[in-house]
Amino acid sequence: MSRFWSPVVQSLIPYVPGEQPRIDNLVKLNTNENPYGPSPRALHAMREAANDALRLYPDPDSTAFKHAVARRYGVEPRNVFVGNGSDEVLAHVFAALLRHDRPLAFPDVTYSFYPSYCRLFGIEYRTVALNDHFEIEVDAYGDDVGAIIFANPNAPTGHLLPLEAIESLAKRLPDIPVVVDEAYIDFGGESAVPLTRQYENLLVVQTLSKSRSLAGLRVGFAIGHVDLIEGIERVKNIFNSYPINRIALAGAVAAMEDSEWFETTRQRVIRSRERMSFDLRERGFEVLPSAANFVFARHPGYGGAALAAALRERAILVRHFALSRIDQFLRISVGTEEQCDALVNALDDILGKK
């Protein structure tokens, strides 16, 4: 705390990102990174882009990437917004579309960045409880709010809302912006992007960090009606006109175009998730059905914090949230098959089954 800080900063609760520690032979299953590397074509494109042209500013509109996204999703490039990671995209979305007189609504259990952004931007918010199965109930969202945001699949639960539910919400509340954060959609869901043609209040946010295995590159994007995109562009151009550097742009385009690598790696993650869920259930865990690259699980006999600490002693990192309703749970990212085996073996050791 310093007297030089702006008042709003004095009141901010620091956001603590998942640990990135340096421990030898660490099995890192705490931040939902993809265990398989990025597309070799993307890596090649980035090496090629490391040239003399780096003395020049990059394309402020990331045109080549907007075109690549537009081609993949069957939209126009002007329906696409691009940012330095979807966290930055979300920040601009909060400023541009989610600050209204009425509060912003989001689930009581969801991505913990949302309340942080609200505090930063001075947005009043209201949380809407997940049901007893830890699922979003779209009918619980009324027209008495200024905007709505949630993740689909939701984080950290992994629960997937069907498209019909999203459509019914967008249709019922046509004057309220509805933002769907699809960071994990490629691991088991159907994207709501096609609905954005029909519902001009619907914005979909995605990232290259998870299914494209480029968390280190920092590229995210949003798709929606041009009016929504224009509002976000306005904020972005004042904040940072060149968010995507030349190397990232080359890598992002190539990654988006390499559907073969994308398909193979995401299918591997999906298979490992199913096996990991099975193995955990066999050991007495309750595992929520997941459409993401992580599972959310609790054991009736062991607390979440204790289990996370015991795993850490065995050089396995998982995520535990000391938050009401979910503090018994562990969020475990799906790793390679070897990493999933290491996790299961460590749990056998901890649960005393050996």
Shortest gap between Cβ of 252 and ligand PLP (angstroms)?
11
Residue 183 or 195: which CB sits closer to ligand PLP?
183
Asked if 111 is part of the footprint of ligand PLP (rule: CB under 6 A), the reply reads yes
Asked if 181 is part of the footprint of ligand PLP (rule: CB under 6 A), the reply reads yes
Answer left, alpha or beta for residue 74, where phi above 0 means left and psi between -120 and 50 means alpha.
left
Residue 114 or 302: which CB sits closer to ligand PLP?
114
Shortest gap between Cβ of 215 and ligand PLP (angstroms)?
5
* Total of chain residues touching ligand PLP, rule CB under 6 A: 12
Shortest gap between Cβ of 294 and ligand PLP (angstroms)?
9
Shortest gap between Cβ of 87 and ligand PLP (angstroms)?
3
Which residues in 44-58 are b (16+ Cβ under 10 Å) and which e? ebbeebeeeeeeeeb
Shortest gap between Cβ of 183 and ligand PLP (angstroms)?
4
The answer to whether 265 touches 213, Cβ cutoff 8 Å, is: yes
Residue 299 or 320: which CB sits closer to ligand PLP?
320
Asked if 61 is part of the footprint of ligand PLP (rule: CB under 6 A), the reply reads no
String of contacts with ligand PLP for each residue 71-100, x by CB under 6 A = --------------xxx-------------
Residue 285 or 294: which CB sits closer to ligand PLP?
294
Residue 85 or 107: which CB sits closer to ligand PLP?
85
Pick the binder of ligand PLP from 183, 244, 318, 326 (CB under 6 A): 183
Asked if 215 is part of the footprint of ligand PLP (rule: CB under 6 A), the reply reads yes
Pick the binder of ligand PLP from 220, 231, 243, 304 (CB under 6 A): 220
Shortest gap between Cβ of 37 and ligand PLP (angstroms)?
16
Residue 193 or 346: which CB sits closer to ligand PLP?
193
Asked if 290 is part of the footprint of ligand PLP (rule: CB under 6 A), the reply reads no
Residue 153 or 342: which CB sits closer to ligand PLP?
153
Q: Three-class SS string for the chain? A: CCCCCCHHHHCCCCCCCCCCCCCCCCEEECCCCCCCCCCHHHHHHHHHHCCHHHHCCCCCCCHHHHHHHHHHHCCCHHHEEEECCHHHHHHHHHHHHCCCCCCEEEECCCCCHHHHHHHHHCCCEEEECCCCCCCCCHHHCCCCCCEEEEECCCCCCCCCCCHHHHHHHHHHCCCCCEEEECCCHHHCCCCCHHHHHCCCCEEEEEECCCCCCCCCCCCEEEEECHHHHHHHHHHHHHHCCCCCCHHHHHHHHHHHHCHHHHHHHHHHHHHHHHHHHHHHHHCCCEECCCCCCEEEEEECCECHHHHHHHHHHCCEEEECCCCCCCCCEEEEECCCHHHHHHHHHHHHHHCCCC
The whole-angstrom separation of Cα 262 and Cα 336 is 15
Shortest gap between Cβ of 98 and ligand PLP (angstroms)?
14
Asked if 151 is part of the footprint of ligand PLP (rule: CB under 6 A), the reply reads yes
Asked if 333 is part of the footprint of ligand PLP (rule: CB under 6 A), the reply reads no
Shortest gap between Cβ of 4 and ligand PLP (angstroms)?
29
Contact positions vs ligand PLP (CB under 6 A):
85-87, 111, 151, 155, 181, 183, 207, 209, 215, 220
